[in-house]
Amino acid sequence: MRAALVSTLVTATTGAAVLLATSASAGTTLGASAAESGRYFGTAVAANKLSDSTYVGILNREFNMVTAENEMKIDATEPQQGQFSYANADRIVNHARGQGMRVRGHTLAWHSQQPGWMQNMSGTALRNAMLNHVTQVATYYRGKIYAWDVVNEAFADGSTGARRDSNLQRTGDDWIEAAFRAARAADPGAKLCYNDYNTDDWTHAKTQAVYRMVQDFKQRGVPIDCVGLQSHFNSQSPVPSNYQTTLQNFANLGVDVQITELDIEGSGTAQAQNYERVVKACLAVTRCTGITVWGIRDTDSWRSSGTPLLFDGSGNKKAAYTSTLNALNSGGSTVPTSTTTSTTEPTGPTTTTTIPGPGGCTASVSLNSWNGGFVATVKVTAGSSAINGWTVTTNLPSGASVTNAWNADRSGNSGAVQWRNVSYNGRLAAGTSTEFGFQGTGSASGLTPTCAAG
């Protein structure tokens, strides 16, 4: 979310065992109802409101996902270069986990809400400082975060589809990719998201530009798992008629879609109908894994004069709450659930092994290992001729087991595991490459993948 400018199931790879809030019966609260279709329903939380009993009562009753409103942003977590501050963010994370809720991390790299020291940097120094920030914060919360908004709001408004002109953009056009790669290395169990506003209408240039970036990342094996649509709506920026189309088209790229900062200005029946439209659009898209509203009560909102949330200033349920709950209870496609459990720090070096395979492709693996676990990144390269598909076999050592994977379909979790391309990364021109990855427990030392085309 932008701090001052109005514009505008559940898959769990948190790196730790996941506890789902179970105090409410399905059908009676937002979180419990969303969980029935494998999704989450979350809210943004401010640490200074955790002493408000009405606020906390609604939070604990209704939601099963939490996003820190400002406490995980750059100025809050690294106010002085190299000096990190997590106290307020920890209050939110600890409260959420204590209640069986999960946490979305927001945000690791952003042109806004930078501390003064970062605002005054440029070039290589800024790039290195940004990557260090991503690495340090993601490592600190490793195993506690469901999904990170790795990069926030990097595209400009308007009709050009251009990147936003920012100090980060001026460090080089690959800065977003670099941030995602750093985040994967630091917290391999978390989902990695790109988050932006005014990307709800499929016809808009900004939406198309983000789509092309995600498509490119998936084709080249850049680690991206999800796209966040902020979805701030009002009379000047209403819920578009093609909103579900936008969600589905992003999902078709092989990423999850999350509605990350939903608020809809208005009141009464019109507001209630708009919330219902958004929820039903998410439920209709299998990979729309959850919805977060940006605040609890209207008075907690960054745009409070527009009364955009589900509870009024006294904490009473509004008509929009009822329409949202009814829409959630109408059901939707179920999102598969998986968990990973590694929480230890990396201790081993990265190694790469390349083994030529039959059928016109080769596979190489880079390992990031620690005591009790590893992340493997496998690079598939076409030979002298183009290929239309590939299968990679990895023979895992005894005691090793796959717990999570991305960018490939797999058969088996241990021993001889076969990996096949998914729809977007099977066709490779001669000499070109794609990547997939997986996380596991045990040791993968000596892993030697083989590749077959077709």
- Catalytic residue numbers? 153, 261
The residue among 366, 362, 334 whose CA lies nearest residue 350 is 366
Please classify residue 329 by burial: count the beta carbons closer than 10 Å to its beta carbon, then call 0-12 exposed, 13-18 middle and 19+ buried: middle
User: Which residues contact residue 365 at a Cβ distance below 8 angstroms, ignoring those fewer than 6 apart?
Assistant: 352, 353, 376, 377, 378, 379, 394, 447, 448, 449
Q: How many angstroms separate the CA atoms of 361 and 432, rounded?
A: 10
**Whole-Å CA distances, 133 to 10, 168, 348:** 28, 13, 22
User: Which residues contact residue 410 at a Cβ distance below 8 angstroms, ignoring those fewer than 6 apart?
Assistant: 402, 417, 418, 419, 420, 438
Q: How many angstroms separate the CA atoms of 446 and 317, rounded?
A: 58
Q: How many angstroms separate the CA atoms of 234 and 424, rounded?
A: 35
Joined together, the tokens standing for residue 168 give 């980060």
Q: Coil, strand, or helix at residue 187?
A: coil
User: Which residues contact residue 34 at a Cβ distance below 8 angstroms, ignoring those fewer than 6 apart?
Assistant: 9, 40, 41, 64, 290, 291, 328
User: Which residues contact residue 83 at a Cβ distance below 8 angstroms, ignoring those fewer than 6 apart?
Assistant: none
Tokens 């990265």 — which residue?
Answer: 350
Q: How many angstroms separate the CA atoms of 63 and 247, rounded?
A: 22
Contact 141, 105 (CB under 8 A): yes
Q: How many angstroms separate the CA atoms of 398 and 312, rounded?
A: 57
Residue 91: how many other CB atoms lie within 10 Å = 17
Joined together, the tokens standing for residue 443 give 């040791």
User: Which residues contact residue 98 at a Cβ distance below 8 angstroms, ignoring those fewer than 6 apart?
Assistant: none
